[in-house]
Structure 1
Amino acid sequence: MNISKVLTGMIVALALGGCATVTPVSGQFPSVTPRQAQTGAENGKLVRWGGTLIKAQPKAQETCFTVMALPLRQDGRPYKGGEKSDEGRFIACAPGFYDPVLYAAGRELTFIGTVTGVQVEKVGGYDYPYPQLQASTVYLWPVEVPQPATSAVFINGGWYGGPWGPWGPWGPWGPWGW
């Protein structure tokens, strides 16, 4: 077997493997939403939920997060584009201290954990049933920095001076030049 073919195959495999993104919240989970779990019928199920953080509250042994749920993309990141689906709200608690400065309102989080019940709290003057999640994994997504829009302007088909200019296909230095 030719050594160049083996090396080419290895380089292609490494390049394609570098394109795969695996996060700590990747995987297959039941399609139970926080809205569906408000009844308490989903207690005990292992789920993956995420969304936009409303607030983080450190306590003595754990930190509890109040989250506005969003649908998740395949990699587990909350999907903020297009029409927002009403997935509801939920409270996720995880053991340990999570700094509220880093886990600030508006950040995107994804949790993996077990649904443990429903806690009723006030949202304005309304009693709202928050499904509770005992989180085993808390993933704070990096802030997506918008990329500036770029554009290219091609004049005369992109050839300097047009097709008959010095670098055009029929110009003196073009591929079909004189």
Structure 2
Amino acid sequence: MIRGDAMCIFLKQTPLNFNDPSQKLGMLLAFISCVGWAACAHPISDELRARIDPHLTFQQVFERADDFLEKNVMLGGIIVQTKNFENWAEIEVIQKDLDCFGYPSREDKSGGRFIFIKEGFLEPEIWSRGRYVTGAGVAKGTRTGKIDNKDYRYPLIEVAELKLWKNYNYPINDGSYYGPFYRPYYFYRYGFGGFRHFGPGYYPY
């Protein structure tokens, strides 16, 4: 998939010549890319993402939670468990970096765990262990809990918007060889609050 800004540069800098077969192919690829780009809308609204500091990292919130009380943040990862209380639900999540579409990374690394707090009821059999989730809302400090027999300090996020992703079975980059003419699609990964690095991956759709 061609990134949207790269596609725009191609269209602006390339003189149109519809008799040129190579340009016909380029225009076709650009059109397909445009359709695909439009279909991959971010699950968190533009309005809410505009209130999130692009320089704020999960590690900052994890280590200095009191400094970021009431700040808007966006996080995602893998669900560990979902619990319901009288008027709210809590989702314990293993943090993962987010790509530019808000989808959590499939790589085996994480900055830690946190808890999403959501008003109302969430069905634990749907919001279940192993599902991927992305949410945005307000940082509410920390709470000490347990992982096995170890005390653990969880950052708390009161979410305004929440997205439960459909799981998919394609690895992001397992190092496999797919043939001399095949390369995985590339896209920018979206870290907590901003773009982090350029790397290989598959679209989760």
Under TM normalisation by the shorter chain, which class is it? 0.5 to 0.7
Moved more, 28-37 or 55-64: 28-37
Q: What amino acid sits opposite 2:121 in the alignment?
A: F
What residue is the counterpart of 1:121 in the other structure? 145
Taking a change above 3 Å as real, the CA distance of residues 108 and 31 of structure 1, as seen in their structure-2 partners, is: farther
Taking a change above 3 Å as real, the CA distance of residues 146 and 42 of structure 1, as seen in their structure-2 partners, is: same
What residue is the counterpart of 2:103 in the other structure? 77
Q: TM (normalized to structure 2)?
A: 0.60
Q: TM (normalized to structure 1)?
A: 0.68
SS at match of 1:114: strand
Displacement, 1:14?
A: 6.5
What residue is the counterpart of 1:19 in the other structure? 36
Displacement, 1:141?
A: 0.7
SS at match of 1:18: helix
Q: What amino acid sits opposite 1:41 in the alignment?
A: D
- In structure 1, list runs of 5 or more residues that go unmatched: 153-178
- The number of residue pairs the alignment matches comes to 141
State whether residues 43 and 101 of structure 2, in contact with CA within 8 Å, keep that contact through their aligned partners in structure 1.
no
Identity of aligned residues (%): 24
What residue is the counterpart of 1:50 in the other structure? 76
Deviation digits for residues 49-84 of structure 1 (CA, Å, limit 9, x no counterpart): 000000000112111000010111111110013x51
Q: What amino acid sits opposite 2:69 in the alignment?
A: N
Q: Does residue 67 of structure 1 match 2:93?
A: yes
Query: Please, what is the CA RMSD of the aligned residues?
Result: 2.8
Q: What amino acid sits opposite 1:23 in the alignment?
A: H
Question: Of residues 33, 36, 39 in structure 1, which corresponds to 2:60?
Answer: 36
Greater relative contact order, per chain length (Cα 8 Å cut-off, separation 6+):
2
- Work out the CA distance in 1 between the residues paired with 2:112 and 2:90: 17
SS at match of 2:60: helix
What residue is the counterpart of 2:114 in the other structure? 90
State whether residues 46 and 112 of structure 1, in contact with CA within 8 Å, keep that contact through their aligned partners in structure 2.
yes
Q: What amino acid sits opposite 2:137 in the alignment?
A: G
State whether residues 89 and 130 of structure 1, in contact with CA within 8 Å, keep that contact through their aligned partners in structure 2.
yes
Q: What amino acid sits opposite 1:18 in the alignment?
A: V
Q: Which of these two proteins has the greater Rg computed from alpha carbons?
A: 1
SS at match of 1:41: helix
Displacement, 1:26?
A: 6.4
- Work out the CA distance in 2 between the residues paired with 1:91 and 1:130: 6
More helix by share: 2
Moved more, 18-27 or 135-144: 18-27
Moved more, 28-37 or 136-145: 28-37
Taking a change above 3 Å as real, the CA distance of residues 93 and 52 of structure 1, as seen in their structure-2 partners, is: same
